Amino acid sequence: MSQKIWLDGKLVDENEAKISVFDHGLLYGDGIFEGIRFYSGRVFRLQEHIERLFDSAKAILMKTPWTIEEVCQATIDTCKANNLTDGYIRLVITRGPGPLGLNPHQCPTPSMFIIASGITLYPDSCYENGLEVVTCSTRRPAPAALSPQVKSLNYLNNVMAKVEAIKAGAGEGLMLNEQGYVAECTGDNIFVIKKGKIATPPVSDGSLDGITRQVIFELAERLGYELAEKTMTRYDLYTADEIFLTGTAAEVIPMVKLDEREIGNGKPGTISQEMITAFRELANSEGTEIT
């Protein structure tokens, strides 16, 4: 069965979902995106994701012809058209077609498409046994070059870091900023646990303020754990009792080894497991209904 793709106001078959070769999203990576999960017939944190999408658009001086409410509805319509109750949504807004050259003002109309499909980022064994991670030589761009809060189509930095991790036989790659402090992984935020306290790098150190990251702050407060933002080096990770990663696609996943060093006892810790369970319960119990 052909998937239905929302493209510039219409639901079309996937083989008809095409953009121009002159689209600046393709030519120059001039565009933005969001990844969103839906569970049990509900889209998780839909409003927050779309609001962040519009923040990204504003940051790169992109004016969209749609409202937040219209994009939320288009997202729901895409899931419904594909008869899906669980899966992953990729929503992309490009600068649109225009002449060759960097000038975005020569692209009069942005283009948007929405994909709703299944996704399996990591096998179940990784959630049960944990991920092995290596530090990548590829650094996160400095916030003065490109804010990590803008989810842009310029993802080559993350891709190259991911390639390093894959070639090293690791499940993920840790990325540092230009000062050598911990930023995030190639596609996930990072949380470090020491003596029952949870810490995560501040966004000023080069990490995205992820939606799932925000959920962990909520869950930590609800479960009675102290959680603080803290600038960290790899030493803080090497000597941690537990570490877990978070992301829309990854959800919450434990990390058990970094650069051949076992984290804690080399197995997923109790707080990490508690966060996995709490997140899954929350994600399957709230959200915008696909109706």
pLDDT at 106: 97
Mean pLDDT of the chain: 97
Domain extents in the chain? 4-117, 124-283
Question: Locate tokens 């402090």: which residue?
Answer: 181
Cβ-proximal residues to 98 (8 Å cutoff; 6+ apart), any chain? 22, 24, 104, 106, 107, 108
Six token digits for residue 114: 């929405």
**What number of other Cβ atoms are within 10 A of residue 253's Cβ?**
22
Q: Under CATH, what is the fold of the domain 4-117?
A: D-amino Acid Aminotransferase; Chain A, domain 1 (3.30.470)
Question: Of residues 4, 10, 151, 162, which has the active-site annotation?
Answer: 151
> DSSP assignment, residue 274?
H
In sign, the C-alpha dihedral spanning 211, 217, 219, 222 is negative
Residue 236's SS3 state is helix
Q: What are the residue ranges in the chain where pLDDT is below 50?
A: none
Q: Which of 156, 198, 190, 119 is nearest to 29 (CA)?
A: 156
The per-type count for the chain, helices as H runs and strands as E runs, is 8, 16
pLDDT at 121: 80
Active site (annotated) includes residue 197: no
Question: What are 27-48's pLDDT values in tens digits?
Answer: 999 999 999 999 999 999 999 9
CA distance 165 to 201: 21
pLDDT at 143: 87
Per-residue burial over 260-273, b = 16 or more CB atoms within 10 Å of its CB, e = otherwise: eeebbeebbbebbb
CA 72 to chain centre: 18
pLDDT at 1: 67
CATH for 124-283 is 3.20.10.10
CA distance 244 to 273: 9
- Which residues in the chain belong to E strands, given as ranges? 4-7, 10-13, 31-39, 42-43, 87-94, 111-117, 131-135, 172-176, 182-185, 189-194, 197-200, 227-229, 242-247, 251-258, 261-262, 288-289
pLDDT at 120: 82
CA 175 to chain centre: 15
CA 29 to chain centre: 17
Question: What are 187-246's pLDDT values in tens digits?
Answer: 999 999 999 999 999 999 999 999 999 999 999 999 999 999 999 999 999 999 999 999
